[in-house]
Amino acid sequence: MWVYLNLNPLKKRTGDCVVRACAFATGQSWDETYWELCEKGFDRAEMPAWNASWFAYLKDKGFQRHIIPDTCPECYQVRDFANDHPKGTYVLFIPYSTDGVGHVVVVEDSVVYDTWNSSFEVPLAYWQKGEV
């Protein structure tokens, strides 16, 4: 199931999927998350949406990264992940989406939250808060 969600305070869709997903997953506002990601990027001399920066950001927030098994690398989609994870909040990394660039999306309690229906994208990894 997909639910439209845009935490951007001006409801823009400006390549801020990292901020939107991290804000939702941590329960913070878009503004607070944006500034914390900027600080993390600054500390690392990287852009805040650079993978290593937001990976480190989620780790600092208590999330653990997991790679999705390579049993069917082209057929396991975000919707499959959502169905397989009925409880919890997850941040999924999609390295190449249909828009030609990477994407980050949140799944919580089997629901995909995003500004567009990314349920048919193929995730590579996910973050979950705390122990699995």
Domain segments of the chain as ranges: 16-129
- Ramachandran angles phi, psi of 25, nearest 5°: -65, -35
* CA–CA separation, 113 and 116 (whole Å): 8
Predicted pLDDT of residue 106: 97
pLDDT tens-digit readout, 1-27: 999 999 999 999 888 999 999 999 999
131 pLDDT more than 80: no
pLDDT digits 0-9 by tens, 40-86: 999 999 998 888 999 999 999 999 999 998 888 778 999 999 999 99
Q: Answer yes or no: is pLDDT of 127 > 80.
A: yes
**Residue with tokens 């705390």, as numbered in its chain:** 130
pLDDT score at 77: 96
